[in-house]
Structure 1
Amino acid sequence: MTTPNALAVKYRIESIDILRGLVMLIMAIDHVRDVFHLGQPDPTNLAITTPILFFTRWITHFCAPTFVFLSGISAHLAGARRTQNQLSTFLIKRGLWLIAVEFVFISFAITLNPFYNILIFQVIWAIGGSMVLLGLLVRLRASVTVIGVIGVLIFFGHNIFDIVSPGTIGNTFIWKLLVSTNGFSAMVNVGNNHFFLLAYALLPWTGVMFVGYAFGSLYKTSVSAVKRKKVLLFSGLGLLALFFVFRALNIYGDPSPWSVQKTTALSIISFFNVTKYPCSLLYLGMTLGTSLVILSQTEGLKNRFASLAIVYGNVPFFYYICHWYLIQSFHIILFFVMGFKTSDIVNPQFPFLFSPQKFGFNLLEVYIIWFVVVFTLYWPCRWYSKYKKSHHQWWLSYI
């Protein structure tokens, strides 16, 4: 017989997987655009962007914060079936594994460079590094409350350095690695024509994971669904209110203020064009506020889209790895189909391979490729989801 508590746990997991599956699907849009959009115009450059191009980038802003936050919730749920020491060991091992995967498999998947001239510190690095730090705090017997408070302080306070200059330390490698990358272009030369691309400064994302870990306590069986949904909803609305008020007044939370532009559309774009590198408070308020509202409304949701999203949300890491290699398989195939030669593989003006200047497609064709990618991955994800449910090997917790 299925008890009410068992049903509640099932619904909680499904609501998380629905949201996680949704952002995983959206995430692929940005990666497909990065690889296939002709000329690779910057969607956030107000001088050249268009509403549809900006929206293509803006919608994917919701992915990384949501995924990191849900990773924090999942870490809390993992602790329900482990001792503190077991949870700490699991988080540290999984975090180090994710960092290794970022450098070995993801960096290659993005650059297609077998010599690894560029190692990219992206979202998997941020999740892995944050898990290691979370595991260390759990090892030190830090309570959920303490971890949550640390997360909140980082979450709301890290933009203080937009006001208080860090001085010369702001140009050091450690500062860029942990606190602020000053944009996506934080390229560090490590010698012998090798570079680190520090896209994600660690600590702002760690704050997101720690807050997610604290929110994981809402998923205890002792917490009613009504209370949980209310806390999620009002937390989300609170973050959205903070975003709109602080953004409108340009008072705190983002180093790039918005301004009135020559057209209404560009003014709206300027307003929503918040800073991701490093993730600003207003960027997190806009994205996580929306995600928390969605999470509050998807508990117990039953429809075709929910079932579809759950398939992807059940196996996010598997999907993430597969989607990059599938995108790049299409990339190489289309590279030769379009008539490019092996002499075009290396572009002296671009650090990634198979990306000559005239390679690419218009935005509509980019969306078609995105649909083909996520459609193709449905069956592998469904198979792996079923495999994980029917098998219990230790390594399944890491993929």
Structure 2
Amino acid sequence: MTKEQIPASRIASIDIMRGLVIILMMLDHVRERFYMHVRTGDPIADTIEPDLFFTRMLTHLCAPVFIFLAGMSAWLYAHPREGEYRSPSKFLFKRGLVIILIELLLYYLVWADSFPNYLFLQVLWAIGLCMVALSVACRFNYWLIGALGFLIILGHNFLVPINFQPGELGYVPWAILHDGGELGQIGPLTISLSYPSLPWFGVILLGYFAGPLFARSTAAFTRRRWLIGLGASCLALLLVLRGLNIYGETIPWSVQETTIETVMSFINFTKYPPSLDYILLTLGIGLLMLAGLETVKKQNWALDLMQTFGSIPMFIYVLHLYVLLAAYWILYTIFGATQGERYGLDSVFWIWVGALVLIAVHYPIAKVFAAYKHREKRNKPWLSYF
């Protein structure tokens, strides 16, 4: 990407990592749109074939890495490489509300054809709510922010036994914070929440706490050493906790009939809400990948693609959902229902093919919009939300 398109003030490795998340999200949404006839479950059902299992597991990286990077980006916003500290509170609060609004309006329309009576509060809801909460928490002492993030991530699995029944006083707030589920109805619309916010708030706090790793005063060698150390520590702790079935996941693993099934049992973690083991695995891998990007010196088309997507993540996120919706109805019109009442793909291979086509379609559009955003965002502040 040219210097005109992406300003030097942006950090390439963060944009590339965020772009990779968007690509994996595309893969997951192709699965959701065209492979709905096979439900994966949470944790993933033990009847799922390995190809679908590992496709789904790969996309588990999306939410934790994206929310962690959102926290890191908030710290970088507050501490620009050129200039003095600026409070991120107002920006985070407004950005969080905009993201929640996108969830409530645009995301509902994407699935209104399949679930007209349901409003699903999913990842954008969680991100938006976490940003609103971070707009307050960012005023805390820096070390308190880190301690609170670690406490939530390491300790929230102790809260699993706490539960409320629908209709009880604490049901709705606890569903929003930790358990998820149906919140109630507004007229004919049932409100269902799949991304409880408390664990994700811990992730965004840790991202904010890790922000100084990308400060201008931090040497690249030091940053890479810390990223490797933190990523390896996450995976080492995971091996101990999961290996001995001590803590961090409600469903224990066990030796299965085949090696691949044993591996699947070992890494099959709860996402709704994200268990400690789930977060250790995904953030551990994400931190190691960030460290690896520190060593990349030469740009190529793949890195350019990811960096472009990562510089305009919300634009690509919203656009690709509607492209998928249009593609679904075009294929349904041509071929009719192939899986029950819906059009669906007949193998996981075609999910990957569909994702590659989706990426190729969006790349030239992303190049144009990224150039426009970075050229005009000072004159058009609304562009910063994309």
Does TM, scored on the shorter chain, surpass 0.5?
yes
C-alpha displacement at 1:359, in angstroms? 2.3
CA distance in 2, matches of 1:119, 1:358: 20
1:135 and 1:84 map into 2 onto residues whose CA distance is 15
Matched, 1:311 2:308: yes
The 1:10/1:194 distance shift into structure 2, 3 A limit, reads: same
TM-superposed deviation, 1:219: 1.5
> Using the alignment, how far apart are the partners of 2:230 and 2:129 within structure 1?
26
Q: Bigger CA drift: 232-241 or 129-138?
A: 129-138
Partner of 1:172: 171
**Is 1:248 the equivalent of 2:243?**
yes
- Give the whole-Å Cα distance in 1 for the aligned partners of 2:31 and 2:336: 21
TM-score (norm 2): 0.89
**Paired residues of 1:32 and 1:366 also in contact (CA < 8 A):** yes
CA contact 2:316–2:366 (8 Å) conserved in 1? yes
Structure 2 unaligned segments of length 5 or more: list them: 1-6
Cα distance in 2 for residues equivalent to 1:191 and 1:211:
35
Give the corresponding residue for 2:199: 204
Q: 1:11 Cα shift?
A: 8.8
**Partner amino acid, structure 1, of 2:40:** D
Q: Is the 8 A contact 2:34 2:345 kept in 1?
A: yes
Instruction: Specify which of 21, 28, 38 is matched with residue 40 of structure 1.
Output: 38
Q: Which residue of 1 aligns with 2:343?
A: 359
Equivalent of 1:336 in 324, 333, 336:
333
Q: 1:151-170 residue pairs with structure 2 within 5 A?
A: 151-162=149-160, 164-166=161-163
The alpha-carbon distance between structure 1 residues 179 and 41, as it changes in their structure 2 partners (threshold 3 A), is: closer
Q: In the alignment, is residue 189 of structure 1 matched against residue 173 of structure 2?
A: no
Q: Residue 179 of structure 1: SS of its match in structure 2?
A: helix
Q: CA 1:335–1:241 in 2, change beyond 3 Å: closer, same or farther?
A: same
Counterpart contact for 2:163–2:171, Cα < 8 Å: no
Shift of 1:37: 1.5
C-alpha displacement of 1:214: 0.7
Would you say the 8 A contact 2:164–2:174 is kept in 1?
no
Q: Distance in 2 between matches of 1:100 and 1:209?
A: 20
Q: Specify whether residues 46 and 235 from structure 1 end up closer, same or farther in structure 2 by C-alpha distance, changes over 3 A only.
A: same
Please say if residues 99 and 128 of structure 1, whose CA atoms lie closer than 8 Å, have aligned partners that are also in contact.
yes
* Structure 1 residue runs of 4 or more that deviate by more than 4 Å after TM superposition: 9-12, 43-47, 81-86, 166-171
- 1:371 is matched with 356
TM-score by length of 1: 0.87
Q: Who is 1:78 aligned against? A: 77
Say which SS state the counterpart of residue 344 (structure 2) adopts. Answer: coil
1:170–1:287 Cα change, 3 Å: farther
Q: Contact conserved, 1:46 with 1:266, CA < 8 A, in 2?
A: no
- Encode CA deviations 1:112-161: one digit per residue, 9 max, x unaligned: 36x963221111111110110110123xx312222121111111111112
Matches within 5 A, 1:1-399: 10=8, 13-37=11-35, 39-42=37-40, 45-81=44-80, 86-112=87-113, 117-138=117-138, 141-162=139-160, 164-166=161-163, 172-181=171-180, 186-299=181-294, 301=296, 302-304=298-300, 305-339=302-336, 357-362=341-346, 363-391=348-376, 392=378, 393-399=380-386
Cα gap change, 1:11/1:248 in structure 2, threshold over 3 Å: closer, same or farther?
farther
Contact 1:119 1:197 in 2 (8 A): yes
Tell me if the contact between 2:331 and 2:343 (Cα under 8 Å) persists in the aligned partners: no
What is the deviation of 1:385? Answer: 1.0
Distance in 2, matches of 1:46 and 1:134, equals 34
Q: Which runs of 5+ in 1 are unaligned?
A: 1-8, 345-354
Summarize the Cα distance change of 1:191–1:318 in structure 2 as closer, same or farther, 3 Å threshold.
closer
Moved more, 263-272 or 290-299: 263-272
Q: Using the TM superposition, name which of 42-51 and 59-68 deviates more.
A: 42-51
Judge which range, 363-372 or 57-66, deviates more.
363-372
Q: Give the % identical residues.
A: 36
Pick closer, same or farther for the CA change 1:170–1:260 going to 2, 3 Å.
farther
Is the Cα–Cα contact under 8 Å of residues 332 and 342 in structure 2 kept in the other structure?
A: no
Partner AA of 2:254 in structure 1: S
- What is the alpha-carbon distance in structure 1 between the residues aligned to residue 233 and residue 273 of structure 2? 22
Does structure 1 conserve the Cα–Cα contact (< 8 Å) formed by 2:77 and 2:86?
Answer: no
TM-align CA RMSD:
2.4
**Distance verdict in 2 for CA 1:11–1:232, change over 3 Å:** farther
2:4 alignment partner in structure 1: none
- Number of residue pairs the alignment of both structures matches: 370
Q: 1:38 to 1:219 in 2, by over 3 A?
A: closer
Rounded to whole Å, the distance in 1 between the matches of 2:38 and 2:99 is 28
Match of 1:348 in 2: none
For 1:380, the aligned partner's letter is I
Task: Name the CA distance, whole Å, in 2 between partners of 1:156 and 1:266.
Answer: 28
Q: State the one-letter code of the partner of 1:13.
A: I
Deviation at residue 170 of structure 1 after TM alignment: 9.9
In 1, the alpha carbon distance for the partners of 2:220 and 2:84 equals 26
User: Structure 1, residues 299-328: CA drift from partner, whole Å, max 9, x if none?
Assistant: 252232222211111111111001111111
